[in-house]
Amino acid sequence: MSNKKAVIALGGNAITLPDVEDSVTNQFANTRKALRGVLSLVAEGYQIVITHGNGPQVGNALLRVEAATGKAPELPLGICVADTEGGMGYMIEQSLLNVMYDAGIVRDVVTLVTQALVDKNDPAISNPTKYIGQFYSAEQAEKFRVNRGWSMKEDGQRGWRRVVASPTPIGLVGSSIIRKLVDENVIVVAAGGGGIPVFTDEHGWLEGIDAVIDKDLVSAVVAKDIGADTLLILTAVEQVAINFGKPNQENLTAVHLDEIRELFEQGHFPVGSMGPKIRAAMKFIEEGGQQAIITSFELAAEAVTGSAGTRIIA
C-alpha cells in the first residue's frame, strides 16, 4: 500500500467520443481504453478516487424523460444525475476491474452515488447558465418555458436549450466514508457528473435542487477531503495552452499558482472549455494540494512523473 493519494477526473470524452455512435457498447470500449492510462498509477499503489463527467449521458436521460411524457412519471434532474452516476460508475468500475485483471492486479473497486453540498444562497442558483439537454426551436423553447417553468437560452446558431444553475460545491455528503475506503486501499468511483446537488434546509434536512455541478470543481473538493497529493484532470489535449489555436499558441509545462492565476484573469481559459479545469486546479493548490496536472488520457502516467502534461504547483 502506498501513501500517495490522487484524484483522477475523467472528462466526458473518456466515455462518449464526438462523432462516434453513443451506444452502450461504444461507451464500454471507450471507458476501457481511457482507463489503460490510469492503470500504471494503480500498479504503483496510488490510493485513488475517480470522478467523471456525465454531460452527454444526462442529456440522453432527459431526452428519455421528454419522450415518456404522459406515459411515465417525470424524473427531476437530480434523479437523472443519480441514475447516470450509478450507470457510469458501473461501467468505470467493471472496466477498471477488467484491465486490472489483465495486468494481474488485485484491488477492490467500489462506486458511490454521491451527494454534493451547495449553499442554497449561492448567486448561481438564481442565474442559470449551464446548457443541458437537446436543442429546440424558439416556439418549442417558449412552450417549455410556460408549461414546465424551464429557463431557456439560445445556444449559438443551433437553437434554444434549457439552462440550469451550476452552483459551487462546498462539500460532500459522506466524505468520511470515501476517505475511509481510500485509506483501506479501495479504489473509489465517486461524485460522478459533479455529484447530486443538495443543500441543507432550515431543519437540517438535505434537499435536492435542479442544478448541475462542474465535475472538475467537485474533484478539487474530493481531493481536499481525502488529503490527496495530486489532482489529475484527464481531457482531450496533452497540455494547457495560452493563445490556443493562434499562431502564437504556447503550451504550458510547469506553472506556479500565481502565474496561472494571472493568465486565468487575463481570459486565456474560456468558461466552456479549459476554464473550469484551471479553476479546479487553482482551488486544489490554494487549499494545500501539492500538484494539479492536466493532460490527455493516454499520457496520464507520464504526466504524474513530470514528462508530459501541464503541472500547476504552489
Residues β-bridged to residue 50: 8, 189
Q: For the residues 102-112, what does the mean pLDDT come to?
A: 96
Report pLDDT digits (tens) over 13-47: 677 777 778 788 888 888 888 888 889 899 999 99
Q: Looking at 100-114, 140-154, 169-183, which range is the least confident one? A: 140-154
127 catalytic residue (yes or no):
no
Residue 122: its pLDDT value, please? 96
At CA 134, angle to CA 166 and CA 276, rounded to 5?
30
Residues 196/78, Cβ–Cβ less than 8 Å? yes
**Domain-located, residue 203:** yes
CA distance 291 to 313: 5
H-assigned helices in 119-243: 138-147, 175-183, 215-226
Residue 19: its pLDDT value, please? 73
Query: Which residue reads 481511457 in cell numbers?
Result: 34
248 catalytic residue (yes or no):
no
Residue type, position 111, single letter? T
Total of domains in the chain: 1
Confidence of residue 209 (pLDDT cuts 50, 70, 90): very high
13 catalytic residue (yes or no):
yes
215 catalytic residue (yes or no):
yes
Residue 143: its pLDDT value, please? 92
SS3 content of the chain, % helix, strand, coil (to 5): 40, 25, 35
CA distance 74 to 61: 11
Q: For the residues 191-195, what does the mean pLDDT come to?
A: 96
In the structure, how many helices (H) and strands (E) does the chain have? 9, 17
User: In b/e form, how buried is each residue of 165-203, taking b as 16+ CB within 10 angstroms?
Assistant: bbbbbeebeebeebbebbeeebbbbbbbbbbbbbbeeee
Confidence of residue 304 (pLDDT cuts 50, 70, 90): confident
**Domain-located, residue 125:** no
Confidence of residue 273 (pLDDT cuts 50, 70, 90): confident
**Domain-located, residue 146:** no
Residue 1: its pLDDT value, please? 52
- Say which of 5, 59, 195, 215 is annotated catalytic: 215
| Grid cell listed for 145 | 418555458
Q: What is Dmax (Cα atoms) for the chain?
A: 59
Average pLDDT, the chain: 92
Residue 13: its pLDDT value, please? 67
**Domain-located, residue 164:** no
- Say which of 30, 53, 59, 277 is annotated catalytic: 277
Query: Which residue reads 419522450 in cell numbers?
Result: 67
> Can you tell me whether residue 125 is helix, strand or coil?
helix
**Domain-located, residue 165:** no
Residue 2: its pLDDT value, please? 59
Residues 187/50, Cβ–Cβ less than 8 Å? yes
CA distance 68 to 240: 42
Residue 62 clears pLDDT 80, i.e. is over it: yes
**Domain-located, residue 226:** yes
Q: Which residue has the higher pLDDT, 281 or 236?
A: 281
Residue 78: its pLDDT value, please? 94
- Say which of 5, 11, 13, 224 is annotated catalytic: 13
**Domain-located, residue 136:** no
CATH number of the domain residue 177 falls in: 3.40.1160.10
pTM of this prediction? 0.93
- Say which of 5, 11, 12, 53 is annotated catalytic: 12
Q: For the residues 115-131, what does the mean pLDDT come to?
A: 94
**Domain-located, residue 132:** no
Q: Containing domain of residue 207, as a range?
A: 5-117+172-313
User: In b/e form, how buried is each residue of 109-122, taking b as 16+ CB within 10 angstroms?
Assistant: bebbbbbbbbeeeb
Residue 169: its pLDDT value, please? 97
| Grid cell listed for 27 | 461507451
Residue 27: its pLDDT value, please? 86
Residue 298: its pLDDT value, please? 85
Query: Quick one: angle between helices 77-102 and 24-43, nearest 10?
Result: 60
- Say which of 5, 59, 78, 130 is annotated catalytic: 130
Spell out where 35-113 has E strands.
47-52, 109-112
